[in-house]
Amino acid sequence: MASTSTPASSSSRFAPPLRQILSKDGTTKPGGAHFNGFRDVSVDGESSLLDPKNTLRILSPTATGVLPRDNVIRLTKMAFEEIGVRRQEKKQLDSLVADSRRALAETKRKIELQKQKIRMLSSETIRYENETKRVEDEMGLLHRESTGLERLNRKTASEAKQLVADNNSILIALYEATKTKREAEDNVQEARKAYFAEADARRMMTQSFRLYAVRNASYAERLARAHRQRYQLNAAILGAAGVQT
């Protein structure tokens, strides 16, 4: 009666699947209680052909349907085949393990690089946040300074308007003062002209008085000479007439 196959244990995990039993006439049939293949699948599914009790049972002369010699040949052949398969599987497994280790090392390296990048990004993020905070603080300070400057600008504009008004008043006062100064200078010029004109008139008058005095003296001298000449003439006339003077 054939037994039901179950999963193999960890020791036979990489073994080939359930083999078929070669009968004496070359036909195949599923393994049963008289198993002579590579693996004896017993009730618990854990027994192996390499187990000594199974080997003795297979090589027993009481094994029905198969000669012990054929069992030994088949057992040896199948054992070497299984060893080759196991070696090949071990090579594949070692290759897979090496690949897995390399992949694991590469993954660890990538993870470490990723961690470093994350740390760098975290540091950059912290630095960026600090820089952003510093810029925000500077912007707040600039905003406060800008507000103060705006108030100062408005105050300065008001003072500038007042200064413009005062400047206009000063310009008007300067214009009036300049006008008054010009008028005073004109008056001074007129007074100087009048003074020099009066001085010229006085000088002319003095000259006229001098000329008059000179003329008057000349006239007096001429008049006195005329009187003397007249007296002499009268004396001569009277002398000629025999009149005693």
Look at residue 172 and tell me if it is in a domain.
no
Among residues 36, 38, 41, which one has the least CA distance to residue 9?
A: 41
Q: How far is CA 198 from CA 30, 201, 210, in A?
A: 168, 5, 18
Q: How far apart are CA 16 and CA 77, in angstroms?
A: 15
Look at residue 95 and tell me if it is in a domain.
no
Please determine, for residue 172, whether its predicted confidence score (pLDDT) is greater than 80. Answer: yes
pLDDT band at 54 (very low <50, low <70, confident <90, very high): low
pLDDT band at 68 (very low <50, low <70, confident <90, very high): low
Look at residue 3 and tell me if it is in a domain.
yes
Look at residue 92 and tell me if it is in a domain.
no
**SS3 for 76-101, per residue?**
HHHHHHHHHHHHHHHHHHHHHHHHHH
Under 8 Å between Cβ of 40 and 54: yes
Q: Residue range 46-71: average pLDDT?
A: 55
Under 8 Å between Cβ of 39 and 49: yes
Q: pLDDT of 189-214, one tens digit each? A: 998 888 888 888 888 888 888 888 88
Domain that holds residue 59: 1-66
Look at residue 15 and tell me if it is in a domain.
yes
Q: How many domains does the chain have?
A: 1
Look at residue 35 and tell me if it is in a domain.
yes
How far, in whole angstroms, is CA 175 from its chain's centroid?
56
Look at residue 13 and tell me if it is in a domain.
yes
How far, in whole angstroms, is CA 55 from its chain's centroid?
84
Q: How far is CA 124 from CA 85, 110, 111, 112, 121, in A?
A: 55, 20, 19, 18, 5
Q: pLDDT of 85-133, one tens digit each? A: 888 888 888 888 888 888 889 989 999 998 888 888 888 888 888 988 8
Look at residue 37 and tell me if it is in a domain.
yes
